[in-house]
Structure 1
């Protein structure tokens, strides 16, 4: 029988967009970047191909990231990107509009929610449902969110870090910090500029973070060569940068995340706090992969830390689980919806 419609789950991240299709699993995993021709408005590249163009485009081409700090910064470009991915994964012929579940940070305003709903509807959805990221991340990490017991999830994305205590299918205490992988990259750029008078780009900073970045004071003892523009001579220059220096560079945003986690723990009811001490904190999202972060968090809180099996995919896998039950479970996890 021909499948004329498909249900889609979208992790609309600041750094990456992941798309889950019901019955197929994750079908798209691309950076949230579009390359546009400024004069004609035509899309030239999406995802990885567009990311490679950042900082390298001629005047008439612009590589943009339409999401900042977990929310829509450029509405039209976000709509264009959603339309592109919905059309890419929808079956042909497309006779019916799909149902779409989109994840949003837990601290977004009603205006920001409306922007996501509107963008998804304009991009071709029949029904759009919004789900908070920590709920989806917990489901994707295999946590039973419906049990009468406390679970703590920390979802560290590119633009936001969502911290939540979940029990009986709801969020009891939560905090959404506008700090994520992008802030770590910015901190590295600032540090190198200050210490070495060298200007590096976003992509170089991200490479440093992934390859030698460390959240722990000792670092890994690794180093790498960095190329950039000397701010005094204006000429290209190469320096050697170490993982211990990366810790110093990222210390401020890392400490802000740890302070946020402690603040949520302080507001947690005692019964749920004892559950969390027993079960530990579950880390999801790309930021959780930063070397030494688990060790530092365990030392700072005294609570066991568990890294999810596939931290980068937890949120979108959670949307997949929600899609399977969307017809039965419309009210429980959904925090906003819009229909045609």
Structure 2
């Protein structure tokens, strides 16, 4: 029988968990959500995970809660993450029908030792025989196929749902970096808050996501485009449909966008002057779901003077790059990786 899924990589995101099967160039993704029983003798038991749990949002009674077990790039509920991975990995890779795999997990660089240990142990319990933690910036660099030797430095901005990281990567070293446990999900929060304050309308996260994808922009727009938004009227409590315009959406997103710009500028200020010519020549590459926000590349270009591009298929770069660290002979020296074997 062919051995499948021997090496896997996980990008354990706050909104989406992606699993990459090394050697098959297959990356699957599902929401980072679990549905948990809240009452009775089985309270706390996970009854659904991933897409199945996402389908229950807003459609359950008080007996079931749908929750995200990952917050700020760290495990917020260990038991829920254990259950999510046990349910998730077999669907992605055939785990359970083959020998236990080695698994690389992409993590924010500022995780505490306790948080790192929680990730390692959770993945081991899910069936891994070895766990390798890979800093997300290095995973992104490998996924972008940047030089791993002593080549030029590159600037990378990883815009995840729960964390935003920007760093200067040279080979297998992060020369300078800034991290905040505030990610692209804050864009949705800002939209929901704006609609509530300005339109007296309560909307859910799926609606905010739809608004962001259609009208969201990091730069002013004179398109005049708008869309209908359905939610619950805060005054009457009844369903109501209103129209929101592109410029209103840009206004709602300006705070989080400005924070992203500020983080990038702060990292550039930390960068050794010897690398200035590298950054001038090679610019900055954006990865992660937040990189898809319209106009963000142009806004960063205006604010930093660098050439800014969005990676091809930016949501899969980190998982694909993390898997590369499991390849035979993969460079690990100075990379900050840690490894834990099953006992």
Q: TM-score, normalised by structure 2?
A: 0.93
1:3 paired with 2:3, answer yes
Corresponding residue for residue 124 of structure 1? 127
The aligned runs of 1:129-278 (5 Å cut-off) are 129-218=132-221, 220-278=223-281
Q: TM-score, normalised by structure 1?
A: 0.94
Q: What secondary structure sits across from 1:120 in the alignment?
A: helix
The whole-number CA distance in structure 2 between the counterparts of 1:265 and 1:125 is: 38
The whole-number CA distance in structure 1 between the counterparts of 2:181 and 2:46 is: 29
Change (3 A) 1:66 1:301: same
The whole-number CA distance in structure 2 between the counterparts of 1:313 and 1:324 is: 18
Whether contact under 8 Å (2:27, 2:316) holds in the other structure is no
Change (3 A) 1:330 1:269: closer
Corresponding residue for residue 292 of structure 1? 295
Whether contact under 8 Å (1:37, 1:43) holds in the other structure is yes
Corresponding residue for residue 336 of structure 1? 338
Q: What secondary structure sits across from 1:324 in the alignment?
A: coil
The whole-number CA distance in structure 1 between the counterparts of 2:148 and 2:300 is: 23
Structure 1 alignment gaps of length 5 or more? none
Aligned residues: 338
The whole-number CA distance in structure 1 between the counterparts of 2:200 and 2:4 is: 58
Q: Which moved more, 1:84-93 or 1:292-301?
A: 84-93
Change (3 A) 1:4 1:227: closer
Change (3 A) 1:221 1:333: farther
Cα displacement (A) at 1:33: 1.3
Change (3 A) 1:189 1:339: same
Corresponding residue for residue 303 of structure 1? 306
Structure 2 alignment gaps of length 5 or more? none
1:123-158 Cα offsets, whole Å, 9 max, x none, are 121111100111111211222243331110001011
Q: What secondary structure sits across from 1:30 in the alignment?
A: strand
Whether contact under 8 Å (2:46, 2:80) holds in the other structure is no
Change (3 A) 1:221 1:135: farther
How well do the aligned residues superpose, as a CA RMSD in angstroms?
1.8
Q: What secondary structure sits across from 1:59 in the alignment?
A: coil
